[in-house]
Each structure stands twice: as structure tokens, then as C-alpha cells.
């Protein structure tokens, strides 16, 4: 399966679905991250944030692409959709992860709308949350129980953001969020998602894979 995750700034994707992407890589899926800007507006230096993002992608096991847009000024409409279209044509994703549309940051809102438009031929579109997402009501959850620490380690690649006084995240809060989403999903820790379109491919493949745990035990 091919997976594409789109985020506006270095660290957005990891905050929203970093552990889920690690799960995809573990399954053998091919994961690509498209980061639309270098995060220039935070004044930490473009080179630093580029290197941080490259390290994070390497830890996840994902390919990294850059959109080349200016932080805070991602254009609405055609130009951004075209940039996404080019990556989608290349990657051919089965699943797209992108910002949720209700967000106080203008770049995040723009990327979400453009992502939905660019994903017109993608079967599954999942919205992830970041600290500026509003009114997020996830109905889909990924159990990340044994990889929360790996998610936090990936986020620590973005050291310039971790140590910011007004930083977009602190790791304790991210761990608490994972615990709360897990509580909602009746597992220990989770990442939560909304979806505008979810196609469930139950496949015709190995029947054993489709067995419930009850059925599998009964055959032993
Ligand atoms: Zn962002």
C-alpha cells in the first residue's frame, strides 16, 4: 500500500500521525511525507528546520518531499492543488493523511481544502489533528500502544520547536493526548482521525487474515 501524508510545516505530520506512519512502515507500506513549507516564519533558520525534518522522516522510514511554499502564505486554490497533484501522480497513494479543515492556522486550513481536492481519486482521506486544530471529533483511531515513545523520539528531532518558549508542542502534552485518544478508543494510546472518505478494502486475499481472533483460536 502507498501512503502519502501532507503537512504545512516541519513537525505537523509527526504531531498528527507520526505513530500511524511508523505502523504503516512496519506493515511494509511505502510512506511519503510532503512538507509544504520550510517553516520560515519561526525564525529558527531554514537550514535547521530542513535538517530536523529530514532526520524525522528518516526515523519514520518515509520518503520526504518539499512543497517549496512560503510559511504563512500557502496559496489557496490551483497552485497548491497542482503541487499536491504532482506528488500524488508520482506516489499513487491509497491513503492520504492531511490537516483537518477546522484549524486556526491559515496554512493548515488551506492545505486541508487543497488536499481534499487533490485527493479526488484517492480512496481514503484521513484528517489528523495538530495543536491548532479546532472542534476535532475523531471517529477513527489507530492503536499506537507500543510506539508512543518512538513518536516522541521522532518529535524530538524537531528540537527547535520543542525548546521554544511558545512552542507548538510539549512532549508531555502529546503523550497525554495519545493517552486520551486511547481512552476514547478503548485501547491504551491512540492517534485519532476524522475522515471525509474511507474505503475499506476487505480484499479477496488470504482468508486467514480475515478471521477474527475467535475464529483463529477455534482452528488451532
Ligand atoms: Zn503547522
Domain ranges for the chain: 2-218
Strand pairing category for 2-7 and 30-37: parallel
- The Å distance, Cα 12 to ligand 1 centre, comes to 5
- The Å distance, Cα 38 to ligand 1 centre, comes to 10
Q: What percent of the chain has pLDDT over 70?
A: 87
Give the pLDDT band of residue 166 (cuts 50, 70, 90): low
Tens digits of residue pLDDT in 33-76: 999 999 876 666 678 889 999 999 999 999 999 999 999 999 99
- The Å distance, Cα 67 to ligand 1 centre, comes to 13
Q: What percent of the chain has pLDDT over 90?
A: 79
Q: Where are the beta strands (DSSP E) in the chain?
A: 2-7, 30-37, 63-69, 95-99, 124-128, 140-143, 190-197
Q: Is 32 helix (H, G, I), strand (E, B) or coil?
A: strand
- The Å distance, Cα 218 to ligand 1 centre, comes to 48
Q: Which residue has the higher pLDDT, 89 or 168?
A: 89
Lowest-pLDDT range, 47-61, 82-96, 147-161, 166-180? 166-180
Phi first, then psi, for residue 193 (nearest 5°) are -140, 150
Superfamily of the domain at 2-218: LmbE-like (3.40.50.10320)
Protein residues near ligand 1, an ion, with CB under 5 A:
8-9, 12
The mean per-residue pLDDT over the stretch 93-118 comes to 98
- The Å distance, Cα 41 to ligand 1 centre, comes to 10
Strand pairing category for 124-128 and 190-197: antiparallel
* Nearest in space to 15 (alpha carbons), one of 173, 186, 183: 173
Q: What sign does the CA torsion over 82, 87, 91, 96 have?
A: negative
- The Å distance, Cα 215 to ligand 1 centre, comes to 44
Amino acid at each position: 500500500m502507498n501512503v502519502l501524508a501532507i503537512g504545512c510545516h516541519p513537525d505537523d505530520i509527526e504531531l498528527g500521525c507520526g505513530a500511524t506512519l511508523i505502523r504503516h512502515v512496519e506493515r511494509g507500506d511505502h510512506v511519503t511525507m510532503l512538507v509544504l513549507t520550510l517553516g520560515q516564519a519561526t525564525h529558527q533558520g531554514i537550514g535547521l528546520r530542513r535538517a530536523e525534518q529530514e532526520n524525522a522522516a528518516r526515523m519514520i522510514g518515509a520518503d520526504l518531499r518539499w512543497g517549496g511554499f512560503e510559511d504563512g502564505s500557502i496559496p489557496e486554490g490551483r497552485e497548491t492543488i497542482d503541487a499536491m497533484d504532482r506528488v500524488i501522480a508520482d506516489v499513487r497513494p491509497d491513503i492520504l493523511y492531511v490537516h483537518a479543515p477546522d484549524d486556526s492556522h491559515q496554512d493548515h486550513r488551506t492545505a486541508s481544502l487543497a488536499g481534499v481536492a487533490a485527493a479526488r481519486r484517492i480512496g481514503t482521506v484521513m484528517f489528523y489533528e495538530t495543536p491548532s486544530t479546532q472542534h476535532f471529533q475523531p471517529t477513527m483511531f489507530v492503536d499506537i500502544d507500543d510506539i508512543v515513545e518512538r513518536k516522541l523520539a521522532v518529535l524530538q528531532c524537531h528540537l527547535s520547536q520543542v525548546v521554544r518558549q511558545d512552542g507548538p508542542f510539549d512532549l508531555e502534552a502529546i503523550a497525554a493526548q495519545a493517552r486520551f485518544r486511547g481512552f476514547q478508543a478503548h485501547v491504551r494510546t491512540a492517534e485519532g482521525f476524522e475522515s471525509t472518505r474511507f474505503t475499506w478494502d476487505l480484499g479477496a486475499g488470504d482468508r486467514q487474515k480475515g478471521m477474527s481472533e475467535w475464529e483463529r483460536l477455534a482452528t488451532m
